[in-house]
Amino acid sequence: MEETQFDRELVRLCDRLYRFARSLLGNAIEAEDATHDTIERLWRRRTELALCRSVEAFALTALRNGCIDRLRRRHMTTEPSEQLPTTGDPVERWSSRELVRTAMARLPLRQREVLHLKEIEGYATHEIAELIGVEENQVRTILSRGRKALREEVEKLMGER
């Protein structure tokens, strides 16, 4: 893959890669680092990208693997990396966006990953199955359990208000 084609493909994906990393890692700075590292690795392997069926799938898989490595290195506990907001007025603290982000951070990694790809990035179930290397029916099961767990987390967080 030539430099201009690489730029075209990856510039188009940068925001999507960052959002995916942010969803998996729960930390904006670490997500930026993971995204940058992934793009750098892809740049070094750009000649192999021409052989890929889907550059987007390859990039997302590479980013996912990098995020999992980062999570393993920091020995992530079950607690979210971003704590609940404690300053500001209640309306500001409990905006629906922050509430969902906090609830998502409390989900297991696989559920977070699949929910993000489906609900935020808009991938089809079969595409998610290909990206994460599982059967399509497993993706549906993970989605179902993830949505249920997310609802429970949101309700729990709303009860803490």
| Residue-level pLDDT at 75 | 60
The pTM of this model reads 0.65
Is 81 part of any domain? Answer: no
Residues 6+ apart with CB under 8 A from 62: 38, 41, 42
Query: Is 100 domain-assigned?
Result: yes
Residue 141 lies in a domain: yes
If asked whether residues 72 and 36 sit together in one domain, one would say yes
pLDDT score recorded for residue 81: 42
Does residue 133 share a domain with residue 92?
Answer: yes
Q: Is-contact 6 59, C-beta < 8 A?
A: no
Task: Give one word for 20, left, alpha or beta, with left for phi > 0 and alpha for psi -120 to 50.
Answer: alpha
- Compute how many other C-beta atoms are within 10 angstroms of the C-beta atom of residue 126: 11
What's the pLDDT at 91?
54
Residues 6+ apart with CB under 8 A from 149: 107, 108, 111
> Do 141 and 95 belong to one domain?
yes
Does residue 82 fall inside a structural domain? no
- Assigned domain for 133 exists: yes
User: Are 25 and 67 in contact, with CB atoms under 8 Å apart?
Assistant: yes
HSE-CB of 5 using CA atoms within 13 angstroms: 8
Q: Into how many domains does the chain fold?
A: 2
Residues 42 and 100 in one domain: no
Question: Which range of residues forms the domain containing residue 31?
Answer: 1-76
Same domain, 21 and 66: yes
Domain match, 147 and 100 both = yes
What's the pLDDT at 85?
45
Q: What is the pLDDT of residue 97?
A: 78
Per-residue pLDDT of the chain (161 residues; tens, 9 = 90+): 677 887 888 888 899 999 999 988 888 899 999 999 999 988 888 888 878 888 888 899 999 999 888 888 876 444 444 444 444 555 554 577 788 888 898 999 999 999 999 988 889 999 999 888 899 999 999 999 999 999 999 889 888 76
Q: How many residues does the chain have?
A: 161
Q: What is the CATH number of the domain that holds 8?
A: 1.10.1740
- Residue 79's pLDDT is 47
Distance of CA 140 to the CA centre of its chain: 17
Where do we find the tokens 């992530």? 76
Cα gap 10→67, rounded to integer Å: 18
